[in-house]
Structure 1
Amino acid sequence: MKLKEIPGALFTAFQLSRIPAKKLNASRRPELPSVIVSFTSIPSRIPFVHLTVRSLLNQSVHAEKIVLWLHNSLQNQIPAKLTSLEGTRFEIRFSDQTSSHRKLVHSMEAFPGKTIVTCDDDSMYQKDWLENLYADHLRHPKAIIANRVRQISYEEDGTTKPYKEWRYVTQTDSTHGSYMPTGYGGVLYPPNALHADVTNKELYLKLTPKADDLWFKAMSFLHGTESRQSNKPGPKPITIWGSQKVALLKSNVREDANRAQWDALRAHYNFKTPEPEN
């Protein structure tokens, strides 16, 4: 988090914290049919994740359910400021897994046939975040919609370029075979959008142990589902101050672990996404 972003993050956190939990759960805003918002968290972020939940409960439209997946070991370590938000719209579920893949995989299994929207646990989302993603879903009901997208790129000899050279997509309402949605901004997955291997725990932990975004990209590519940059990506979600002590992104980029994991997927499935158009 940049120094200049801290005051805004603290102010947003203060505003969200002032809203009574009862008011967040009792809101009569429109509900989106068959939409589940799903995410996961880790022990170091448990003190902060209630702010993410509050931002999701405070959306201009409601999901049918908001689900937070946590490891079984945390069952007796949930702070009151998080449990106080549980109700008909938000629930905490537990799993024996620790990988980030569970935010989508578990909800796909628990809510078959539903549209799943994933997000991160270290961010506060703007009030129209879900509404805008769903509007794009109505226009492209079979596509995966994302607010933050990178383009997977290759050298002339076919080898994968370093992850830091996978540039962010700036053209809104666009699609290409090389587009890889990133979970940070939020991703909407319609029903039946991914290959059957998506729930294969042994395989995704072997090939992409620290890169759920890459796993889900591969599963959509194999299934023939297009990934789209949203029409209204809006401003970046607001990072929760203090939540970045542990972050996969730093190690994945620094060590280029994302490229290694994508190459593992390419070798296993023998595919290559198209080179981005100039």
Structure 2
Amino acid sequence: MEVKFVENTGPYRKIINAIRLSNQSDILVYVDDDVIYGDKWLETLLHAFYENKSKLAIASRIRAVKRNIFGTVQSYSRYRVCKKPIQFNCDYIITGVGWCVLTKNMISEALINNDDYILLAPKTDDLWISKILELSGTVVEACPKALTYVDEIDHKNNALNLSNMHQMKGSNAVLKLINKIVQRVLAYFGLQRTNNDISIKKISSYFKNK
């Protein structure tokens, strides 16, 4: 085992550096350090990876992007986790916890070496990785079976999760109910302002204007 010392770029210090330092033939498995992975998790992901002749990225937890009746993208909280082994080439987000299997050649070199994520989405590496896979033309397949072998450690006050998703702390039951209804309406029309939503719009706008 070799330990690599890298610059602390938040959640990106793992996968971005691993991709940059890897060879074309290397198989990369992206995991979180606060999750318990069962002994069948990796085996299940790799089985799907090899079954697709190592040509697809395989992720155990993918959220499918939803649109409203006007065709505009809804907010992140409306995206549901994919429960079937469906293949995506757009409108998806590979989320943390379950993570994925991929190779260096699945992402274009220009996107691998692009450091603008530090300014655009410093805390939402899943959004950036998903976008550069999509822009590279890589198909991603959901492997929900692997997710059954994952146990997430419950943090009662997960600061990163609280900032990325809308969660109301404290307050009474009536206010919480009113807030829940308001947030559902805002989410349907893509108007929520969570860190995830802000990052999605920043990333989309950035690549649209390049």
Q: TM-score range by the shorter chain?
A: 0.7 to 0.9
What is the match of residue 165 of structure 2? Answer: 253
State how 1:10-25 maps to structure 2 within 5 Å.
none
State how 1:163-174 maps to structure 2 within 5 Å.
163-171=76-84, 173-174=85-86
Tell which deviates more after alignment, 130-139 or 107-116: 107-116
CA distance in 1, matches of 2:67, 2:194: 14
Distance 1:244 1:205, change over 3 A: farther
- CA shift, 1:158, in A, is 4.5
**What's the CA shift string for 1:176-195, capped at 9, x where partnerless?**
22222112112111231113
Count of residue pairs brought into register by the alignment = 179
- CA shift, 1:231, in A, is 6.0
Gaps of 5+ in 2: 167-192
- CA shift, 1:118, in A, is 0.5
Distance 1:244 1:227, change over 3 A: farther
**What's the CA shift string for 1:23-60, capped at 9, x where partnerless?**
xxxxxxxxxxxxxxxxxxxxxxxxxxxxxxxxxxxxxx
Gaps of 5+ in 1: 1-87, 272-278
What is the match of residue 46 of structure 2? Answer: 134
What is the match of residue 230 of structure 1? Answer: 143
Whether the aligned pair in 2 keeps the contact of 1:116 and 1:189 (CA below 8 Å) is yes
The reply on whether 1:191 has 2:129 as its aligned counterpart is no
CA distance in 2, matches of 1:245, 1:131: 32
Whether the aligned pair in 2 keeps the contact of 1:147 and 1:229 (CA below 8 Å) is yes
TM-score normalised by L of structure 2:
0.77
State how 1:1-278 maps to structure 2 within 5 Å.
88=1, 91-113=2-24, 114-140=26-52, 141-171=54-84, 173-176=85-88, 177-195=90-108, 196-201=110-115, 203-230=116-143, 232-235=145-148, 237-240=150-153, 245-254=157-166, 256-270=194-208
- Identity rate, percent: 27
- CA shift, 1:110, in A, is 1.9
- CA shift, 1:121, in A, is 1.0
CA distance in 2, matches of 1:240, 1:269: 34
Amino acid at match of 1:265: I
What is the match of residue 182 of structure 2? Answer: none
Whether the aligned pair in 2 keeps the contact of 1:160 and 1:259 (CA below 8 Å) is no
- CA shift, 1:236, in A, is 5.3
- CA shift, 1:138, in A, is 0.5
What is the match of residue 67 of structure 1? Answer: none
Distance 1:106 1:244, change over 3 A: farther
CA distance in 1, matches of 2:48, 2:113: 26
Whether the aligned pair in 1 keeps the contact of 2:121 and 2:128 (CA below 8 Å) is yes
CA distance in 1, matches of 2:156, 2:50: 34
CA distance in 2, matches of 1:214, 1:119: 15
CA distance in 2, matches of 1:216, 1:94: 21
